Amino acid sequence: MGQMNRRFKLAAARASALLLAAFMLFAGCGREPEGKDPVVVTVNGWEASRAEVMLYMLQVQTEFERAAGPGVWEIEDFSGGKTASEVAKQGALDNLVRVKVLNAKARETGLEVPADLASLVERQADDHYSALEPAYRDGNHITRDLVRKVFLEFQLAAIMGESVAAEVQPTQEEIRQRLDRMEAYAQIAGLDQEKLHEDYTLGYLRVGKADGPQARELLEEARIQVEEGASLEEAGEAWFGEEVPYSLGTLEASRLTADPRHLEAFTKAPGEVTRILEDQDGFLFFLVEGIAPGEPDPEIYRRWLDGQTEAAKELLRRETFERIYQEWKLNAQVQVREDLWSGIRIQ
């Protein structure tokens, strides 16, 4: 039960983070006021109004603009010949259908949002509802109850996914095969102990994700300058300033203790530079400043292998859940009005 509660809380954090970020962009996406908010999507009898679709559209808008900046909506061929707006609309609809299908399955099994999490989610929804301009809320049929409903349904969908995934028990053979397909494992598993434990000194230059695509473009210019022989300090001063902040630092690690997202650095020789990499703190590149022999430690290797095994199990659980969901979606009765997107605009 304790493990399941922790899963619920992790699901709550992920679900809330997506919706809370989306609500910050309410003023950027809207539609013309109407007399009554129509039902535009029905999933297995569960109805969604146009205002509800707007909330999902805002979530996708947030993700697109965070990844590519506000100019993303000017891209005509964003994916498969479709504009960014077309891809975003399909993503919003897919997300809504997913939440509705998972909510229906959760109710069939008697799964609910635990009371303490429900209270937390409702408070978060209320905070963001209150932050909206009253005229905007009223003109777009966005009520406190609707915001709570969307937050809670999003939460229940996340919990349903966690619940299904938790029931999956991969076999040892499945784990072995999944490990072989994991890049971090494949890069390391075949190395001898001497290579595994080499100590790398890595200098890096980093920008935050919130600084937008301009920061990443400048980071690439700085990376090229370092590749041509400049120091990290020189490149940072040359390309960044107060408007676009950056940070410098040094990291010491071995292949077994490094963040898997940084493993490219361990394929480089001293003086060489990586591509731009992404981790939880933003974007960065590494300059290999030195490599020294390390002391083999069976315990470090065991912890690394245990971590990789758990990661493989989690991936297998997620993949199995996704296959189950796709079957549920295939059998779902989904009805979408032809004028679903009428009046909804992205600014």
Question: What is the predicted pLDDT for the residue at 117?
Answer: 96
Residue 156 within a domain: yes
Residues forming a β-bridge with 285: 205
Residue 303 within a domain: no
Residue 125 within a domain: yes
Predicted confidence (pLDDT) per residue in 38-88, tens digit: 899 999 998 999 999 988 988 898 888 877 777 888 888 888 889 999 999
In terms of domains, do 83 and 12 share one?
yes
Predicted confidence (pLDDT) per residue in 12-41, tens digit: 445 554 554 444 333 344 444 455 788 999
Question: What is the predicted pLDDT for the residue at 347?
Answer: 53
DSSP string for residues in 185-206? HHHHHTS-HHHHTPEEEEEEEE
In terms of domains, do 67 and 9 share one?
yes
> Would the pTM of this model clear 0.85, i.e. be above it?
no
Tokens of 52: 């509800």
Question: E-strand spans in 101-223?
Answer: 199-207
In terms of domains, do 149 and 45 share one?
yes
Which residue in 157, 143, 140 sits closest to 57, CA to CA? 140
Mean pLDDT calculated for residue range 325-346: 89
CA distance 209 to 199: 28
Backbone angles phi, psi at 189, to 5 degrees: -55, -35
In terms of domains, do 81 and 18 share one?
yes
The alpha helices in 232-297, defined as continuous H runs, are: 232-239
In terms of domains, do 43 and 161 share one?
yes
CATH code of residue 190: 3.10.50.40
Residue 310 within a domain: no
Predicted confidence (pLDDT) per residue in 234-264, tens digit: 999 999 987 889 999 999 999 999 999 999 9
Give the helix/strand (H/E) hosting 284.
Answer: strand 282-292
In terms of domains, do 156 and 200 share one?
no
Residue 304 within a domain: no
Residue 236 within a domain: yes
In terms of domains, do 195 and 244 share one?
yes
CATH code of residue 85: 1.10.4030
In terms of domains, do 115 and 225 share one?
no
Domain limits for position 134: 2-167+315-346
Give the total number of structural domains in the chain.
Answer: 2
In terms of domains, do 111 and 256 share one?
no
CA distance 28 to 143: 18
Residue 255 within a domain: yes
In terms of domains, do 255 and 339 share one?
no
In terms of domains, do 337 and 204 share one?
no
For 167, the 3-state DSSP assignment is coil
CA distance 163 to 153: 15
For 43, the 3-state DSSP assignment is strand
